[in-house]
Amino acid sequence: MRAVTDFLVKKDDLRTCRVEESEPLEIEDGEALLRVDTFGLTANNITYAVMGEAMSYWNFFPAADGWGRVPMWGFAEIERSEAEGVDPGTRLYGYLPPSSHLVVTPADASDRGFVDASPHRVSLPSAYHRYLVSATDPFYRPDTEDVQMLLRPLFFTSFLIDDQLADDGLVSRGPILISSASSKTAIAAAFLLAQRSGVDLVALTSLRSAEFVDGLEIYGRTVTYDAIDSLEAGPATYVDISGDGDVRRKVHEHFGDQLAHSMAVGLTHWEELGAGGDGELPGPTPALFFAPDRVTKRSADWGQAGLETRVADAWHPFCEWIGGWLEVEHGEGFEALERAYLEVLEGNVEPTKAHVLSI
């Protein structure tokens, strides 16, 4: 048995990281050992780290005091199993640590996968517990594994954003402004929203990314952050993926009470989270968009299988579109992982590029 390797991040200083090796993991009756193969690294993972304490993301994969394992999405194989219906050699997609191995306690196992019923995860959002067997997964195609690791969880979030905006009648109540418009979550949401008739999509982005965003041809207009006040006053909806307090304040001050909704989604500008402050913002109070809550609602409305089918049907056209221009950089080992992590943390990854890694 091989030693376990973990990539650890200091919780109170996200720029400090290290690798740790420990003894091989043993499993007990009812458990299985997963060998982590590869995982994607995007700004979404930085959100997990920034919100690690507030939203319990650190609790999924506990580490030594003061350190955390940033959750990733990727593929793993079952190396050993003492759980009924969970067979070694099976390839899985799911929520993984940046580690070489993970012990899980499979429950509700079937040919589609299982949920991890480990005691420390019971109180955590169930949307992150499921491990899907690739052979029966409607999303899975061997030639799009990289895109799945990088964008499937983001796309799921984007699907739910699009669904909520439509469900709440916001797509027809003036323009929808999306900040951090070059981010993958924003791009996927815009891709879906653009397919709805009558939607006026406004991309809010930096000067550096404006040309790229224009070239996507999914937004109706591209407006840089310094030109928000050039937008026509009137009803509008703000989808805040940057988390930048200054940008949020500019939008709220410009539209005021005519802002129909302010949806707080992500933290791509994580260091500007408190900038500008939220005190006495004009218009509606920003409402946190929490994807697991939307999953619970739509699972009740459509059933789990119905939700997955709808998302998969929307996923494949998006996957083909983005696969035409997204450049994936592969890396292996601690140095490659650290380099990629810091690049993403500092926002130094070009929007046309993304990282897939293994430890």
**Confidence (pLDDT) at 271:** 47
Boundaries of every domain in the chain: 4-139+315-358, 155-292
Judge: domain 4-139+315-358, CATH 3.90.180.10. yes
**Confidence (pLDDT) at 112:** 94
* Token pair belonging to 157: 């979030």
**Confidence (pLDDT) at 279:** 60
- Render each residue's pLDDT in the chain as its tens digit; 359 residues: 678 999 999 999 999 999 999 999 999 999 999 999 999 998 889 989 998 998 899 999 999 899 999 999 999 999 999 999 999 999 999 999 999 999 999 999 999 999 999 999 999 988 899 999 999 999 999 999 999 999 998 899 999 999 999 999 999 999 999 999 998 889 999 999 999 998 999 999 999 999 999 999 999 999 999 999 999 999 999 999 988 999 999 999 999 999 999 999 865 444 444 444 556 899 999 999 988 889 999 999 999 889 989 999 999 999 999 988 899 999 999 999 999 999 999 988 888 899 999 98
**Confidence (pLDDT) at 169:** 94
User: Distance between CA 134 and CA 129 in Å, rounded?
Assistant: 16
**Buried b or exposed e, range 142-169, using 16+ CB within 10 angstroms:** eebbbbbbbbbbbbbbbbbbbbbbeeee
**Confidence (pLDDT) at 267:** 56
Look at the domain 155-292 and name its fold. Answer: Rossmann fold (3.40.50)
**Confidence (pLDDT) at 291:** 84
* 3-class secondary structure per residue, the chain: CCCEEEEEEECCEEEEEEEEEECCCCCCCCCEEEEEEEEEECHHHHHHHHCCCCCCHHHHCCCCCCEECCCEEEEEEEEEECCCCCCCCCEEEEEECCECEEEECEEEEECCEEEECCHHHCCCCHHHCEEEEHHHCCCCCHHHHHHHHHHHHHHHHHHHHHHHHHHCCHHHCCCEEECCCCCHHHHHHHHHHCCCCCCCEEEEECHHHHHHHHHHCCCCEEEEHHHHHHCCCCCEEEEECCCCHHHHHHHHHHHHHHEEEEEECCCCCHHHCCCCCCCCCCCCCCEECCHHHHHHHHHHHHCHHHHHHHHHHHHHHHHHHHCCCCEEEEEECHHHHHHHHHHHHCCCCCCCEEEEEEC
